[in-house]
Structure formats: structure tokens, C-alpha cells
Amino acid sequence: MEPDKEQQQQKTSLEERCDQIFTQTTSFETLNQVLRRLQRRKAELLKVLDRPEFPLHNNASEQDIREFVTKRKLSGSTRSDKGRRCRDTFASLKKTCRKLGVSFWEYLTDRVSGQDLIPTLGELIAQKAASSLGELPATVSVSLALERKAPDKPIRPGQPTKREFEYIRHGTQTLIASFDVSRGKILHENIGQTSTEADFLAHRQQMVRVAPGVKKWHLVMDCLNTHQSESLVRSVVSIEGIPAFR
């Protein structure tokens, strides 16, 4: 049996087994309520069958906040808003470096010395995302949020620190990428500071150049204005050899 067909049969078998378990009725109403809730969420619970890269647990999230929780238990909160921002920024940098396989000490040394030999963390994140994901929107903007719009309300007896949820944007890093969804391959990508009509047109033109053997392109895009601009239409007309129009 072909691997893909066998996997599809196993997936169908697991879905049917879940239906058998979650739709049964017991003598305990509390248990029946739990079973009905699981049945309503079956699509979410079995999402891993379609996307096997999804983890089956939330251990990563728990581990990410463990350091903060431990420090809060031992030392409490910081004495100033400036100290809190400094603590949170360095903790975020350290954890991001760890996940990207970059030495935090070497990263700080590189930045303080002004050598800038190590790429920015935003660039490393974009590279890792482009190399590991098979399906992404054509344009992804990565927000760099490091500053909140208002200071946090300090800790009080019986109440934890209340953190401001709105932040001040300090620019975006834009990733424009084209994917061959059928093979899960990246055809071409651009990383820049803007996502304009000219940027998207240049990306599409470069995409055609890197694959000269392709005779027919089928582009799947949303209705963003840059995806249906006049310059893009004129470029397609030129490639297809359609008579010029005004």
C-alpha cells in the first residue's frame, strides 16, 4: 500500500474511533458533558493529523514562562518601570537566541563591539520560518514591539502587577515569499522594510526569473490591493504576449 494512502486510512480510522468514544452516553451527566465538549472540538484536537509539526502539548509555552514565574516568586517585581523593561527585554533576547541556536553571550558581544557579524534576530526568525513552513501568506509583517503605551500598575497587597497590553510599534520587517504548495518548496523570498506595489511586482518578476523552465504559472493570492495592481497586470500581459492596452 502506498504511504500516503495508508496514512489517510489511519487518519480516517482515528477520526471514526474518536466519534465512537465522544458520542457515547454514560450514566454520569458530568462525564456526558465532557464527551460532548470533546466532540465539538474534535477538529481542533485532531488538527495534528493534518499538520504533524504541531506539538501535542503546551510544554514549550509552560517552559517559556517558568523562568519569569520562578524569579517573581524569589525576588518579587522590579523597583522601577525602567528596570522591568530592561529585565523583560534581556529575558526575551536570551530566550529568542536559545530557540534560534545562537549563543546569547556571543550575540551581545557582537552587538556591543559593533562588529554586527551575527544577523539580526528578525532575519534569523524569517529564515527559520521560510525553511520550516510549507504554507504561509504571501506577505507577513513581523512587528517589533518593545515599548508599552502606558506604564504598568505596580504590585499592591493582594493584587499582582497589571501590565499595559497596548504597545508602540517601532517599525515592521516584511517577508514576501512564494511557495510551491504541492511540493512544500519555497520558490523565492524577499525581506525588506516595506510592502508596496513595487515590492510585490519586483518579487513576482524575480520569481519568474529564478524558474525559467516553468511555462505556466498559477498564482493563489488574496484580494490585497498590491496583488491586483495595474503594474502587475501589465507585467503579466508582457510575459504572456498579450497585445498592449491603454
**What phi, psi does 241 have (nearest 5°)?**
75, 25
- Residue 145: is its pLDDT beyond 60? no
Question: What is the pLDDT at residue 146?
Answer: 53
Contact partners, residue 222, CB within 8 Å, separation at least 6: 137, 138
DSSP classification of residue 206: H
**8 Å CB contact between 199 and 216:** no
How much of the chain, in percent, has pLDDT values that exceed 90? 0
Contact partners, residue 166, CB within 8 Å, separation at least 6: 148, 149, 150
Q: Out of 36-50, 89-103, 148-162, which region has the weakest mean confidence (pLDDT)?
A: 148-162
Domain ranges of the chain: 1-55, 57-118, 133-153+163-246
With 0-12 / 13-18 / 19 or more C-beta atoms within 10 angstroms meaning exposed / middle / buried, residue 51 is exposed
- Residue 33: is its pLDDT beyond 80? yes
- Can you read off the three cell numbers belonging to residue 67? 523562568
Of residues 133 and 195, the one with the higher pLDDT is 195
- Residue 119: is its pLDDT beyond 80? yes
With 0-12 / 13-18 / 19 or more C-beta atoms within 10 angstroms meaning exposed / middle / buried, residue 201 is middle
Report pTM. 0.36
3-state secondary structure 19-40: HHHHCCCCCCHHHHHHHHHHHH
Q: Out of 11-25, 115-129, 138-152, 202-216, which region has the weakest mean confidence (pLDDT)?
A: 138-152
Question: What is the pLDDT at residue 138?
Answer: 41
User: Which tens digit of pLDDT belongs to each residue from 65-82?
Assistant: 777 778 777 777 778 888
pLDDT average, residue stretch 10-21: 88
Query: Could you count the other beta carbons within 10 Å of the beta carbon of residue 197?
Result: 15
**What phi, psi does 22 have (nearest 5°)?**
-80, -20
Of residues 112 and 130, the one with the higher pLDDT is 112
**8 Å CB contact between 173 and 141:** yes
